[in-house]
Structure 1
Amino acid sequence: MVLKTFRWAFLVTAAGLAAGALYDGWAALGIVAILAVLEVSLSFDNAVINAGILKRMSAFWQTIFLTVGVLIAVFGMRLVFPVLIVAVTAKISPVRAVTLAIDDKDRYQQLVTDAHPSIAAFGGVFLLMIFLNFIFAEREITWHGRLERPLARLGKVEMLPVCVALIVLLVAAMTVATHAHQHGGGHADKAQTVLTAGVAGLITYLVVAGLSSFFENRIEEQEEAAEEEEAEEEEEAGKAQAAEAAKRKAPGNGGGGKGGGGNGAVAALTGKAAFFTFLYLEVIDASFSFDGVIGAFAITNDIVLMALGLGIGAMYVRSLTVYLVRQGTLDDFVYLEHGAHYAIGALAVILLVTIQYQISEIITGLVGVVLIGWSFWSSLRRNARIAREAERERVRAPDDGG
């Protein structure tokens, strides 16, 4: 199972390391390996979140996520995205940005660093919305019930996550954005830039998540209608069988089936929902990749090595996502999703803080690892407790029967 799921990640690793060595020798190979480890450590919570969404999709769309999605993640977010950010923020053509990335790497790094406030605001608000919509939702299983249950009750207030996100963005614009960190250690007032980028992140979340939710609701409606139609058909069939048994005569003519059309409609609608869910997954991945792309500049400013190293890491994150889905890990360890969402909330705050202050990628990665590790340990304790209770019930059952 592990080899089957991760085989493409292993192949991409070998190809990426070989390409790094051919590109600039053994030192480049080492940089590629370090960047791959950095990306995986920063994005483990991304894999858990993705798995929670991907498990609702068909095997076909899981394959699309591992193929087309990887191309988007590797070439789109790890190669094209930094170039586009430089082009937009520096108001130069993409061709000029590519030229800088190849011929003037220091200038390119400077432009990317100066664009960080807008990147952090967009990604921070998007990730914050994911966390808020999780923490304000009611659920049967809670990790920290004393915190989550009151927040779930508050979540009944309409548009509360949006209001909280806008308040956080406004506070960030009036505080850290007024002394935004720039290349060379300087600071500049980026309040307007942060506000614009943050609102863009909020709009992106509302549009993509809204479309995904719309089609999921349509799926549920179609499934309920199909179940009702099936129940009616079974009832009619039961009546027909009763009448046939009473008459004991020649078998009646069958009425033919309607189920094929209904199933086709559900399948087609599932395709639409899956497409927008896939799009939602890609935007989530983009938001998670911001800190990895920016953090990579602490190791190298060579865009080719960054694309190779971060691309390898992205492949492992995607393979890990599919592995979690196929193994049913999220069902067995029910607090993992909670831990991942708490890590998302922490990452959103860290991104907004980094508008002014530099925070080591080691700290960012450790926060996610600690929260997910804690949730995994809590899940193990819960499973052990349930097993003990089941054993006590099993032992007590014969006595009760006697």
Structure 2
Amino acid sequence: MVLRTFGWSFGITAAGLIAAGLLWGWEGFGIVLILSILEISLSFDNAVVNATVLKRMNPYWQKIFLTVGVLIAVFGMRLIFPLLVVGLTAHLNPATVIDLALNEGKEYAGHTYGDYLELANPAIAAFGGIFLLMIFLDFILEEKDFNWLSWLERPLEKVGKLDAFSSVIALVTIAVAANVFAGDNAETVLLAGLLGLATYLAVNGLSSVFEHRLEEDAEAEEEAEKSGKTLIQVGGRAAFFLFLYLEVLDASFSFDGVVGAFAITQNIFMIMLGLGIGAMYIRSLTVYLVRKGTLDDYVYLEHGAHYAIGVLAVILLVGIKHHVPELVTGLVGVGFIAAAFASSVLRNKREQALEGGS
């Protein structure tokens, strides 16, 4: 099970590290290894949240997530996306951006490629922060089968009955971030935050609509089978929008990793290779959690991951003005997951003891 799920990750790690050593020597080997560990630590909670979505998709789309999704994550988010962001925010033509990216340390108008990416941080952080905040809010405000921190979650579930309350909170957060953290970038932060909110509402809304239709068709199919009729399902479209949702979610998680990577090196190929290896492990871990049914066995893991997402959203927004070390971001995510796992284990033991006593 482990080898089947993580086999590609192990193989890509070995090939990637060997390539790094051959191309850049021991220094390159070490940098790529560090970047891989950085990506895994920053995105561990991403795997848990991905698993809650992926388990609603059929095996075909799970394979798409592991193949096409990985290509999008590695080449799209870790290589092409930073180039686009630098070009759009710095108003540079594609040729200049690519030239700066390929020539480490080269400057244009007094700035390197890494400098330009850092200057784009307010827009990146606002978009990603609001998108992740919406994921956290929609989870914490909805009614759940299990409550982890009941003293907090039950009152919030009552508040969550108000329509569009999460969107109201997000809009207020955008306004606060623009006024408190943005400084001269207030307009950029407002626009990026609104785009992050709009993207979440669009992708999540479409996936919910088609998923609901899929559930209705499944019920209708049961009735049709009884009467000898057949019914065409729309699972493909539902899974497609869930796939888009996962890709945007991955993008939001990767923002801080991509920007933070430039504190280690400005070699875009090292960054793509190191973060790509980490992204592959996160995807393999996601599939492993689904196939093992881990989220069903440890019911608070989903809670811990969403709390970590909420904190990460705040960190991204605060990071518009104040740098938050990547170590802190990684430890927060791992800490919530570990606490949720421990709580789940204790809950399972209590349940077993009660069953044994009866």
TM-score range, shorter chain: over 0.9
Name the amino acid aligned to 1:198: G
Q: Does 1:138 align with 2:148?
A: no
The whole-number CA distance in structure 2 between the counterparts of 1:150 and 1:371 is 21
Q: Does 1:364 align with 2:338?
A: no
Deviations 1:172-198 (A, max 9, x none): 1000111xxxxxxxxxx1110000000
Residue 117 of structure 2 is matched in structure 1 by 112
Name the amino acid aligned to 2:50: N
The whole-number CA distance in structure 1 between the counterparts of 2:64 and 2:219 is 28
The whole-number CA distance in structure 2 between the counterparts of 1:326 and 1:80 is 32
Residue 195 of structure 2 is matched in structure 1 by 200
The whole-number CA distance in structure 1 between the counterparts of 2:285 and 2:95 is 35
Of residues 173, 176, 197, the one that matches 1:168 is 173
Q: Does 1:271 align with 2:236?
A: yes
Name the amino acid aligned to 1:391: G
Residue 17 of structure 2 is matched in structure 1 by 17
Residue 72 of structure 1 is matched in structure 2 by 72
The whole-number CA distance in structure 2 between the counterparts of 1:14 and 1:104 is 25
Residue 153 of structure 1 is matched in structure 2 by 158
| Residue segments in structure 1 that go unaligned for 5+ positions in a row | 179-188, 234-256, 394-402
- Aligned pairs for 1:239-318 within 5 A: 257-258=228-229, 261-262=230-231, 265-266=232-233, 269-318=234-283
TM value normalised by structure 1: 0.86
Name the amino acid aligned to 2:113: Y
Of residues 343, 348, 352, the one that matches 1:387 is 352
Residue 219 of structure 2 is matched in structure 1 by 224
Name the amino acid aligned to 1:227: E
Q: Does 1:95 align with 2:100?
A: no
Q: Does 1:330 align with 2:335?
A: no
SS at match of 2:56: coil
The whole-number CA distance in structure 1 between the counterparts of 2:23 and 2:62 is 33
Partners of 1:134 and 1:341 within 8 A in 2: yes
The whole-number CA distance in structure 1 between the counterparts of 2:121 and 2:357 is 57
The whole-number CA distance in structure 1 between the counterparts of 2:38 and 2:249 is 18
Deviations 1:267-322 (A, max 9, x none): xx001100110010000000000010011011111101000100000000000000
The whole-number CA distance in structure 2 between the counterparts of 1:81 and 1:229 is 46
SS at match of 2:73: helix
The whole-number CA distance in structure 1 between the counterparts of 2:4 and 2:201 is 36
Residue 375 of structure 1 is matched in structure 2 by 340
Residue 28 of structure 2 is matched in structure 1 by 28
| Residue segments in structure 2 that go unaligned for 5+ positions in a row | 107-111
Name the amino acid aligned to 1:219: L
Instruction: Give the Å deviation of 1:35.
Output: 0.2
Instruction: Give the Å deviation of 1:22.
Output: 2.0
Q: Which structure has the larger Rg? A: 1
Partners of 1:36 and 1:309 within 8 A in 2: yes
Residue 352 of structure 1 is matched in structure 2 by 317
SS at match of 2:182: helix
Deviations 1:58-114 (A, max 9, x none): 111111100000000000000111111111111112222111011253610110000
Residue 41 of structure 1 is matched in structure 2 by 41
Quick one: percent identity of the two aligned structures? 59
Residue 109 of structure 2 is matched in structure 1 by none
Residue 126 of structure 2 is matched in structure 1 by 121
For these two proteins, the number of residue pairs brought into alignment is 353
The whole-number CA distance in structure 1 between the counterparts of 2:176 and 2:124 is 17
Instruction: Give the Å deviation of 1:20.
Output: 1.1
Name the amino acid aligned to 1:349: V
Q: Does 1:191 align with 2:186?
A: yes
The whole-number CA distance in structure 1 between the counterparts of 2:104 and 2:254 is 24
The whole-number CA distance in structure 2 between the counterparts of 1:22 and 1:88 is 34
Instruction: Give the Å deviation of 1:14.
Output: 1.1
